[in-house]
Amino acid sequence: MRGEGLELKDRFYCVILSVVFFLTAGYTPIRLIFGNLSGMDFIRSGLYVFLLLSAFLYFNIMPVMKPCRTVTKRLRRCFKGVMLLSAFLISSAFLVIFYIINLNVLLSHGGLALITCILLSGAMEAIVFWNGIIRVYVSSLQLGIKLRTIGIICGMIFPLNLFVLIKIIRTAAREVSFENEKLLLDVSRKQDRICETRYPILLVHGVFFRDFKYFNYWGRIPAELKENGAKIYYGNHQSAAAVKDSAQELSLRIRDILKETGAEKVNIIAHSKGGLDSRYAIAMLGEGDRVASLTTVNTPHRGCIFADYLLEKIPDNVKKRVEETYNSTLKKLGDESPDFMAAVTDLTASACEKFNREVKDDPRVYYQSIGSKLLKAKGGQFPLNFSHELVKLFDGPNDGLVAESSFKWGSKYTFLTPKGKRGISHGDVIDLNRENIEGFDVREFYVELVHELKETGF
């Protein structure tokens, strides 16, 4: 498996399943309704039906005879669902052709008998379908709410349901292949601990988010880094505040981590506004001797012209209502003193121009940066699909929020440019949506990033 779906031997076995389901759904109803049309004696015919029904039942319970190559129960369940749905499509096509070819012969025995026979065949195929779709819906993570909803809505609309079903099968098959390969890779290199850096990793979130216990801002990245030996900590600072206030929280957090671990320094990986917060803490709050490296990810180092425009054009009373609503909501979620307007103001191009004049890099700290670009608005999740075109008018090519021209900072700059027409959004680059993006393995990217820090001596 290489993240491309079913392998050749899987497809071959799927054809075998399809033949079994076709023969059962095609022959058994005809034998029950029309009697013995094949010329076989009653005993042989009955034995044939018994064997087909037994095989039908067995393969619905165990769609894969040999143990799956998948590592986890979830992936095994999803793989079996994919096999059943694929076999359903093939066997259903066989059945349609079968009934068309034999229509005149079957009609000669009466229309009611034919309809009953078709309904029985359909019922057997429905068993295969629902067995497969439930397994996939329950176990797949990549289908998402959108594709699941489309599947439900289009389920009874022919031929849309066929196209949607094929999309579901492909998505789930690729997920099984990709995730299984990734798990096997982690097992093979676990002893190497390639992400066990000299200093612990501090992940710093961006604006308007928090480090929640049950929803990780960084998606599947922290677990992947830990699996490969990294020691991960979080900023645990408020979701929205002025840069200097967020930096003060980070400064205290850094000292707590050093006290807890006994380490001399930390490696900071900061997303979005978190990069500005971290730069301020290093340069203005004396954390330069406690930070080995700072990696900023899609950080607006030069701000957003679009933010200047919004603050200038939106009426004060509207801004005040938005600010009060946000601050009161985030207080309920754990922020002690959120400041929505201060956070937004510090992200403007004018504020960042002043920031860069005053906040200088510390020569003791290794600085590097990462950026990405969303190629099409529809490639981003809401609200990035909406903001992409607006930001583009003011700032040019962007990731849905931040302009490409604003990312670069430090001695090394990595610009992510995967193949395809989608691109990588502001949320994709931290795995916010837990989506497997073709051409960009976000988890492996961070493994390589942290491994490079380790190799550098950090």
Phi, psi of 5 (to 5 degrees): 105, -150
Give the helix ranges, DSSP H, for 140-211.
144-153, 160-189
Strand-pairing partners, residue 415, are 371
Is 255 within 8 Å of 290 (Cβ atoms)?
A: yes
What tokens were used for 275? 């990069």
Instruction: Determine the Cα–Cα distance for residues 458 and 450; give it in Å rounded to an integer.
Output: 9
Instruction: Determine the Cα–Cα distance for residues 385 and 379; give it in Å rounded to an integer.
Output: 7
Q: Which of 305, 381, 287, 290 is nearest to 348 (CA)?
A: 305
Is 91 within 8 Å of 126 (Cβ atoms)?
A: no
Domain 193-456 has CATH 3.40.50.1820: yes
Question: N- to C-terminal Cα distance for the chain?
Answer: 35
| Predicted structure pTM score | 0.88
DSSP-assigned letter for residue 362: P
Name every residue whose Cβ is closer than 8 Å to that of residue 325 and which is 6 or more positions away in sequence: none
| Residue 1 confidence (pLDDT) | 40
Alpha-carbon torsion (24, 26, 32, 36), positive or negative: negative
CA angle 62, 63, 67 (to 5 degrees): 70
Q: Which of 424, 447, 10, 71 is nearest to 225 (CA)?
A: 447
| Residue 306 confidence (pLDDT) | 82
Name every residue whose Cβ is closer than 8 Å to that of residue 282 and which is 6 or more positions away in sequence: 288, 291, 294, 361, 362, 365
Is 288 within 8 Å of 227 (Cβ atoms)?
A: no
Beta-strand relationship, 266-271 and 366-372 = unpaired
> What tens-digit pLDDT sequence spans the chain (458 residues)?
444 556 767 788 888 899 999 988 888 777 766 665 555 555 566 777 888 888 899 999 888 755 456 678 899 999 999 999 999 999 999 999 988 988 887 787 778 878 888 899 999 999 999 999 999 999 999 998 889 999 999 888 888 899 999 999 999 999 999 999 999 999 999 999 999 999 999 999 999 888 887 789 999 999 999 999 999 999 999 999 999 999 999 999 999 999 999 999 999 999 999 999 999 999 999 999 999 999 999 999 999 988 888 888 888 888 889 889 988 988 888 888 889 999 999 999 999 999 999 999 999 999 999 999 998 877 667 667 778 888 888 889 999 999 999 999 999 999 998 778 889 999 999 999 999 998 899 999 999 999 999 999 99
| Residue 2 confidence (pLDDT) | 47
Q: Which of 304, 255, 302, 296 is nearest to 277 (CA)?
A: 296
What tokens were used for 21? 């389901």
CATH 3.40.50.1820-classified regions of the chain:
193-456
Instruction: Determine the Cα–Cα distance for residues 453 and 366; give it in Å rounded to an integer.
Output: 10
